[in-house]
Amino acid sequence: MKRRLLFGERMLLGDGTEPFNAIIPFRLKGDFREEDVRHALYQIQAKHPWLRALITHDEKKVPWFEVPDPIVPIPVRTVVRKGENDWQEESIKEWQTVFKYDQFPLIRFVWIKGEGVSDMLFVFHHCLSDGGSAMAFLDEFLKVLDNPLADIGTENPILGIEDVVPSAILLNRRQRLKAKFIGRVAATAIKYIPVNKKAIDRKNDYFIHWKFDRETSSQLISYCKAMKVTVNTFLSASLLKAFKKVKGPAAFNKVSCPVDIRRFASQIKEDHIFAFGLMITLSSNEKVSFEDNLTLMQEDVERKTSKLNPYMVMMVMESGHDALKNFTRLLKQGRSTNDCMFSNLGRIQIPENYKEFSVETIFSPSVIGPLGNTTTMVTSTYRGEMDFSFMGSEGYLPYTEALAIRDEMIKSIQLKLEYAEVL
């Protein structure tokens, strides 16, 4: 089984010399045998073909996912657990470790092993999977780890754009011409956009993590419901406010928010291994109150989301493979125009208690790569606690400023919730 990488996947893969790795860390209470861990990993590979795929190149140097026979197992690295924050140190190591994708799958596993408690990390190349897919195979891994005989089914994998875009659209002559025209215009424009002579030196990468307890998380959700805005909009507004407070005029007042393509393309199932994403950009109106700004931002979210057309976006991108080099150059060497990427995975629907162990927490994913501004915040909610991962690089956002942004964001949210409670 094999398929050619889509445009977005090729962009994330790059030339293979620079890592673009995502990490899902989680903490389990219990004791585990190595053979059971490896069996669970083998079973999710058996279900998902692309979790066992290598990358090969054809005569035109175009990359393909190709599934070898026999299966090359997911590599496992075991380290002794010394403290609560080992998983953060190991995450940073894994960000910087390139996948040897011609020899091993684009996924690996780190087991930080302790007595009665283990921190575990799924590490995967971002071209392989997004956060939604990762949560699906994490859920399956836990099911099999608890019960080696658990039936997790078999994925019918996406083999190309034709498995995502309905044939009535994909084969429509007018739609095809439109996609090709937009693609050509974009490719020409990208070619002539001025960029720096070399990519920005990102210097040292860093990782900042924190949680809101159940009470604060519940208050935050209640506040958003009362304001008739989503948690994503509220946190985006709070993040922009924090950037403005810390960076002043140097802040861009822009945050990029990924939108799950599964909301629009029913062909992509929850357990499909897939990495294509949509994006909207949000800004705040600094001339109105925070509460009024929330309403305006929510309207903007709904307006922009309603205009998203994943099928046309995919068709346009697939018409532009020859522009990949220029597009990548623009991302790497172009001037940064946004403060941060912010992703909210929402409530993680994975059980807490199993027969053989319990899940103490699932930390929010982290991801870092070479395509421009690395400043990223990811949040998720598990067991009623909202969890935050904030990552970046000194060359884009100094660590001291990132800490100040975190502190300002936490303070402003707490003050807002305290004020709302009084009212």
Q: Is residue 391 part of a domain?
A: yes
What CATH number is given to the structural domain containing 229? 3.30.559.30
pLDDT of 28-49, one tens digit each? 999 999 999 999 999 999 999 9
Domain final residue, candidates 82, 112, 146? 146
Contact 345, 364 (CB under 8 A): yes
Report which of 59, 75, 185 is spatially closest to residue 122, judged by C-alpha positions: 75
| pLDDT higher than 80, residue 115 | yes
For residues 184-212, give the mean pLDDT. 89
Model confidence over 303-357: pLDDT tens digits? Answer: 999 999 999 999 999 998 988 998 898 888 888 889 999 999 999 999 999 999 9
**Cα–Cα distance for residue pair 111/78, rounded to 1 Å:** 5
Token match 């090969």: residue? 56
* Torsional sign, CA 243, 247, 252, 253: positive
Q: What was the pLDDT predicted at 261?
A: 85
Q: Which residue has the higher pLDDT, 195 or 87?
A: 87
Q: What is the pLDDT of residues 343-355, one digit of tens each?
A: 999 999 999 999 9
Per residue in 206-229, pLDDT tens? 999 999 999 999 999 999 999 999
Could you tell me whether strands 76-80 and 107-113 are parallel, antiparallel, or unpaired per DSSP bridges? parallel
What is the pLDDT of the chain when averaged over all its residues? 94
Domain count, the chain: 2
For residues 190 and 235, state if they share a domain: yes
Which positions ≥6 away from 92 have C-beta within 8 Å? Answer: 205, 206, 207
Per the domain annotation, does 24 fall within a domain?
yes
Q: Looking at the domain assignment, is residue 190 inside a domain?
A: yes
Residues 262 and 398 in one domain: yes
Instruction: Tell whether 244 and 128 lie within a shared domain.
Output: no
pLDDT attached to residue 422: 58
- 221 and 73 in a single domain? The answer is no
Q: Please list the helix, strand and coil fractions of the chain in percent, rounded to the nearest 5, in that order.
A: 40, 20, 35
The angle at the Cα of 65, spanning 375 to 317, to the nearest 5 degrees, equals 60
Domain closes at, from 91, 117, 146: 146
Looking at the structure, do residues 215 and 249 belong to the same domain, yes or no? yes
* Span of 128-132, 203-207, 332-336 with lowest mean pLDDT: 332-336
- Residue pointed to by tokens 């172009």: 334
Say if 307 falls within a structural domain.
Answer: yes
Please give the torsion angle defined by the CA atoms of residues 332, 335, 338 and 340, in that order, rounded to the nearest 10 degrees.
40
Write down the pLDDT at residue 420.
73
What count of other Cβ atoms lies within 10 Å of the Cβ of residue 107?
A: 27
Greatest CA separation for the chain? 68
Within a domain: 155: no
For residue 153, give both structure tokens. Answer: 């089914």
pTM given for the model: 0.94
**381 and 276: one domain?**
yes
b/e code 308-327 from CB counts within 10 Å (16+ = b): eebbebbbbbbbbbebbebb
Asked if 9 contacts 369 with a C-beta cutoff of 8 angstroms, the reply is: no
**Calpha distance 82→96 (Å, rounded):** 22
Whether residue 51 is predicted with pLDDT greater than 90 in this model: the reply is: yes
> Do 129 and 166 share a domain, yes or no?
no
Are 97 and 194 part of one and the same domain? Answer: no
**Whether residues 138 and 99 fall in one domain:** yes
pLDDT in tens, 221-266: 999 999 999 999 999 999 999 999 999 999 999 999 999 888 888 8
Give domain status of residue 182, yes or no: yes
Residue 153 counted as domain residue: no
Say whether both 201 and 102 belong to one domain. no
* Residue at which a domain ends, from 120, 146, 172: 146
Containing structural domain, residue 111:
2-146
Give me the CATH number covering residue 134.
3.30.559.10
How many other C-beta atoms are found inside a 10 Å radius of the C-beta of residue 298?
Answer: 21
**What does the alpha-carbon distance between residue 305 and residue 110 come to, in Å, rounded to a whole number?**
37
> Are residues 128 and 172 located together in one domain of the fold?
no
In a domain, 207, yes or no: yes
Same domain, yes or no: 211 and 94: no
For residue 150, pLDDT beyond 70? yes
Q: What is the pLDDT of residues 376-403, one digit of tens each?
A: 999 999 999 999 999 999 999 999 999 9
The number of residues in the chain equals 423
Question: Does 137 score more than 80 pLDDT?
Answer: yes
